[in-house]
Amino acid sequence: MNFIGIIPARYQSTRFPGKPLAIIKDKPMIQWVYENASKALPYVCVATDDDRIYTTVKAFGGEVVKTLPSHQSGTDRCAEAALKIAQSRTFDVVINIQGDEPFINPEQINLLKSCFKEEVDIATLVKKIDTEEELFNPNRPKVVLNNKHFALYFSRSPIPYVRGEKNKNWIKNHCCFWSHIGMYAFKTDVLQEITKLAQGKLELAESLEQLRWLENGYKIKTAETTYQTIGIDTPEDLDQALQLF
């Protein structure tokens, strides 16, 4: 099975304009993402609507394609890029790699790839939750799994609800709570199909696009990672990441 990685990247960001070009040590953020992803994939490409990002990727020798500026999500941008790449390259699975995670661990990409040893539409990553703060943080989506590690539901609320227990005892008395790590892999035809779906009620309620896919019957396989990726959403996040670096 042939895999490729696509990194959707846009310049405009409410909280951090120009984020993909922010310098970490001696490289722009997008280059860190690209180089780390390339350790696990034979072909990686940046998808962007911005000339500055396009020029930067070309300058460090990376693959890049221009996409429309109207896309509402990284998934939509990936789908357009995949169609363009398919004109010259054959592949079975597209891995959507977040452009704001410069310290992405290549082993996480390998975990996603391993999901496709069986019949899978979409794959993503999960990590065990071990703190009350993370469990009740609405900015950290949670997921409930079945006994074959397929996703049943995603939510910003802590799920499942533990009846009759105080919040502080939930983690101790229930195994296991899972957080969702937002990296996806899609069969090529599935990626094109899901971008044509209308938003559903669950997605609108939770503001989680993966609920649209579940509502329409797509199966999402999960793989467990123990590594917590570091996303850069604000200049303050970048400062903290530089300290860790």
Give the per-residue pLDDT at 4.
98
For 144, phi then psi, to 5°, come to: -105, 135
pLDDT of residue 17: 82
Q: Report the pLDDT value the prediction gives residue 244, as an integer from 0 to 100.
A: 67
Q: Which residues of 151-167 are buried (b: 16+ CB within 10 A; e: fewer)?
A: bebbbeebbeebeeeee
What domains, with CATH codes, occur in the chain?
A: 1-104 (3.90.550.10), 117-181+188-229 (3.90.550.10)
Prior bond to 176 cis, omega within 30?
Answer: yes
pLDDT at position 236 is 82
pLDDT at residue 35, as a whole number? 97
pLDDT in tens, 84-103: 999 999 999 999 999 888 88
Helix ranges (H only) for 115-234 are 132-135, 170-173, 188-194, 201-206, 210-215
Q: What pLDDT score was predicted for residue 245?
A: 62
Q: Is 216 helix (H, G, I), strand (E, B) or coil?
A: coil
Ranges of residues in the chain with a pLDDT under 70 are: 14, 244-245
Please, which residues bridge with residue 124 across strands? 184, 222
In this prediction, residue 100 carries a pLDDT of 87
